Structure 1
Amino acid sequence: MGKPGKSYFVRTFHIIGFLLTSSFLLLLVLVTFMMINAFLHAETSLLLNEYTKFLYKVVEVISKLLEWMNAVSFLLLLILLVPEIVTRISKDSLGNWFKSFWVSYRLRRFLVRQTDHEGEGVLKIQQHNRSIRKSVIDIRNKNITYIVKLPNDMQVQKLILEAKEILREEISSRFPDYTFSNFERYKHWLRIEGTKMR
């Protein structure tokens, strides 16, 4: 069996998620610094005049740096998003693109495990959940692809492999208009394909 290719959406999913989170957090910090800057600018106390001027300059420098970082983050995000958005508009739909993000996170929540009272190792569960958080579903009008990364640890792999049928049923129930293959394995990835029924 040849190597199954990953779509552009799957390959850029985690980078886009990271850049979106970074941009949002940078924006929050930037707004906070702008509020501090406005407060310092309005400060009129003669006793604190020199200290306020110094603080104002420091906050202004940090604000400029944050603006630059936010602009770079947003530009990188735009560069990655444009090809996918153009492809979705011309060959699929933007609705499926948003749905792919939403369902990916929902399936991750469904698969994430908590430590139980029977003494499953905390490290084992952490490795399992780390792999699950790398799983992605790519929803298209005609087909669906879901991939999940298998960890190197054999015991942790077993946890994921044991959940294959439950996961297949969960995906099938979410997309009743598609027929799904069995999970196929390529090295450290599990993959399932869905094809829309006519």
Structure 2
Amino acid sequence: MHIFLDESGTLTKSDGTYFIVGSFTVGDPRRIAKAFRKWQQNKFPRRLKRESEVKFNNTSLDDILRFKTLQLLVKQDIRIFYTFLKKRNIPEEYMKKGKVVETGLLYAEVVASTLELYPTPSENEFRVIRDQRTLKGVNVKRFGEILTVRLLPNLPAKVLFQVQAVDSTTSPLVQVADWICGALARYREEKPFGEEFYSVLKGNIVEEKELFSDKWTKLLKE
């Protein structure tokens, strides 16, 4: 199983209400990569046709084209698993003086929770491909170790677990994950066309989960 993963938003409280980690798996990764590149070359504005990366939020795109691009992607039999959280619900253990300071550890927790949504793989590998990014307080090796500790005990002994960070400009599949996250963020933030984008993705969403939603319930009980 190959899982392609990205995120939308930041873990600080200054940008938006939600943070989203979106991921997908697909039967034939090469097919969807080829379909996305062909669509880019045939349908995107001229200035974007040969770009190595076209993100969902690129200002040269309009929402009608975003909508049609999402329609193309869901036809490739993608299976979407994603988590989201309201930033006001971030646990105190990741904060200091009201500000989020442990962003690296928090990001690792959210990614691990997202990957735990997946069923036990029937294949001999569970490979996660994500966009390379700098994580505060957590280097690439440590990030991989955190995920391994969380996920490996629940995987069959024969399954190879691996986390790979790649340059998104070289990976159409990670770019597809960006498109999924961008569309889900529009929906969660209740922004224009969010409902329409979600309606396209909905049939391909296998699991979705809100994280830390019980924070205030716990506080009231204490």
Q: TM-score, normalised by structure 2?
A: 0.30
Between Structure 1 and Structure 2, whose CA radius of gyration is higher? 1
Structure with bigger RCO (C-alpha 8 Å, 6+ apart) = 2
